[in-house]
Amino acid sequence: MQIQIDPTRLQSEIEMLATISEAEPPAVTRIVYSDVDRRARSWFIGLCEAAGLHSRIDAIGDIFVRLEGAEPDLPAIGTGSHIDAIPFAGSYDGTVGVLGGLEAIRAIKESGLHLRRSIELLLFTAEEPTRFGIGCFGSRLLTGVLDSTADDNLRDSEGLTLAQLRQQAGYIGSLESVRLPRDYYAAFVELHIEQGPLLERERVSIGIVTNIAAPAGLRISIEGEGGHAGAVLMPDRRDAFCAAAEIVLAVEKSARGTGAIDTCGTVGKCQIHPGAVNSIPSKVLLEVDIRDTDEQRRNRVLEEVKDACARIASARGVIIRLELVNADSPAHSSAGIIDAIVEATEALGLSYKKMVSRAYHDSLFMARIAPMSMIFIPCRGGVSHRPDEFAAPEDIANGTRVLAHTLAHLASQ
């Protein structure tokens, strides 16, 4: 089954998409429901239309691009990823899966292959947590992990709700209409850069994901007592930022202390109030990301952080409040999908390794409604979420070929 992708076309589209950004190249900033996000989406729909592919958009902006099969009522084979990017990210996280997915579908269409099942590319409205503090809110709504209360509960840093933002972006309709039925897809396969160093280090072309680590998000607010940096003497202080600093180190200590390399703890966001150099911090807000391939081990870290906060609060006389934003279960790939990817990879004469994904992806949630796996390609130095993120054109082409052959194989069944 020979399917010819067009690597030059694909590469130029990846480079073009990278220019639709709020940040100066090579950095990419593209937050969901921002103007650049909207521009990127309409540019993408233009590509689909130019390829003669119909698309539909749901009530939060997820874009579905379908290549009809001979039996359109059968559950389709799904693929997809995201184009939203955290501030000062790179050009490849998510976009390889969206544009590689489009290239795979175009190549299958151009090959003249008539397949039983439809193949559907899904551009998830957002995968990154930047806007609402929770990752994958699109795929959570698509799979019922979040329900329609998200319309008012998800609120960004300016206090705008999901309902307001999606309507401003022109996405109307009820949130209930977003949820996909359980048998909507017969399989879901996502192409993504590894966001880790293993494939490059071991000179392996393709990663086949066996399981996706489970993320948990905490919001921790610390309330102390502010005051003049010169007037309030050290013994009289209840400095919220010093308490926060102890919490940050407690997160690191607990994540390092599980004895497992798969446990990660990060405090990636910190807001200090009032934020003046000569004023003692009275309030601090921390956002914490704790993840692990083992759910129990990850939950133990959550408990240890909670205990540390209680200790720090009483020792320092500050008030510490914890809000659990999310604590998701890990996802396991389906053996059948892994086999299909292995078969396509071997048929293309490429090397591969089975591996864990420590980054989370929309596939973490799609696994709840369809058998899933992921195809990884190497990224230079394992770097991601940085402007110097890089995937070689040959690796992107290899990943797209494997995806195309895997989708065609699954759609013929």
> Binding-site residues for Zn(2+), please?
82, 93, 128, 192, 385
Rg (CA), the chain: 22
Pick the binder of ligand HGY from 120, 127, 151, 389 (CB under 6 A): 127
The site that binds ligand HGY (CB under 6 A) totals a number of residues, namely 5
Toward Mn ion, which CB reaches closer, 81 or 258?
81
Q: Are 26 and 387 in contact (CB under 8 A)?
A: yes
Q: Is 174 exposed, middle or buried (0-12, 13-18, 19+ CB in 10 A)?
A: exposed
Pick the binder of Mn ion from 13, 93, 103, 151 (CB under 5 A): 93
Strands 63-67 and 119-124: antiparallel
Ranked by CB distance to ligand HGY, the top (closest) residue is 359
CA angle 220, 310, 231 (to 5 degrees): 75
Please tell me whether residue 137 binds ligand HGY under the rule CB under 6 A: no
Toward ligand HGY, which CB reaches closer, 129 or 226?
129
Toward ligand HGY, which CB reaches closer, 33 or 360?
360
Token digits for 227? 């005051």
Q: Which of 175, 104, 180 is nearest to 367 (CA)?
A: 180
Please tell me whether residue 13 binds ligand HGY under the rule CB under 6 A: no
Q: Which one of ligand HGY, Mn ion, none is in contact with 135 (Cβ closer than 5 to 8 A by kind)?
A: ligand HGY
Toward ligand HGY, which CB reaches closer, 185 or 360?
360
Cα-based torsion angle of the residue sequence 44, 47, 53, 56 in order, rounded to the nearest 10 degrees: 20
Residue 24: CB minimum distance to Mn ion, A: 20
Token digits for 94? 């998510």
Residue 359: CB minimum distance to ligand HGY, A: 3
Please tell me whether residue 359 binds ligand HGY under the rule CB under 6 A: yes
Please tell me whether residue 84 binds ligand HGY under the rule CB under 6 A: no
- E strand residue ranges, 99-146: 119-124
Token digits for 149? 């209360």
Please tell me whether residue 135 binds ligand HGY under the rule CB under 6 A: yes
Q: Which of 78, 116, 145, 117 is nearest to 337 (CA)?
A: 78
Q: Which of 211, 218, 184 is nearest to 323 (CA)?
A: 218
Q: Are 254 and 246 in contact (CB under 8 A)?
A: no
Non-local (6+) Cβ contacts of 203 within 8 A are 351
Pick the binder of ligand HGY from 128, 292, 389, 395 (CB under 6 A): 128
Toward Mn ion, which CB reaches closer, 94 or 101?
94
Residues in contact with ligand HGY, shown as a per-residue x/- string from 305 to 344 under the rule CB under 6 A: ----------------------------------------
Non-local (6+) Cβ contacts of 129 within 8 A are 135, 217
Sign (positive or negative) of CA dihedral 365, 366, 368, 372: negative
Please tell me whether residue 360 binds ligand HGY under the rule CB under 6 A: yes
Please tell me whether residue 190 binds ligand HGY under the rule CB under 6 A: no
Strands 85-89 and 76-82: unpaired
Residue 214: CB minimum distance to ligand HGY, A: 11
Residue 2: CB minimum distance to Mn ion, A: 16
Residue 128: CB minimum distance to ligand HGY, A: 5
Q: Which stretch binds Mn ion (CB under 5 A): 89-97, 181-189, 210-218, 389-397?
A: 89-97
Q: Which of 329, 410, 334, 347 is nearest to 373 (CA)?
A: 334
Quick check: helix, strand or coil at residue 265?
A: strand
Q: Which stretch binds ligand HGY (CB under 6 A): 127-135, 175-183, 312-320, 405-413?
A: 127-135
Q: Which one of ligand HGY, Mn ion, none is in contact with 360 (Cβ closer than 5 to 8 A by kind)?
A: ligand HGY
Q: Which long-range contacts (CB under 8 A, 24 or more apart) does 268-275 make?
A: 270/244, 272/240, 272/241, 273/226, 273/240, 274/226
Q: Which stretch binds Mn ion (CB under 5 A): 67-75, 87-95, 160-168, 328-336?
A: 87-95
Q: Which stretch binds Mn ion (CB under 5 A): 14-22, 86-94, 230-238, 322-330?
A: 86-94
Residue 315: CB minimum distance to ligand HGY, A: 32
Toward ligand HGY, which CB reaches closer, 84 or 239?
84
Q: Residues within the annotated binding site?
A: 82, 93, 128, 192, 385
Please tell me whether residue 94 binds Mn ion under the rule CB under 5 A: yes
The residues of the shown chain that bind Mn ion, judged by CB under 5 A, are 93-94
Residues lying near ligand HGY in the complex (CB under 6 A): 127-128, 135, 359-360
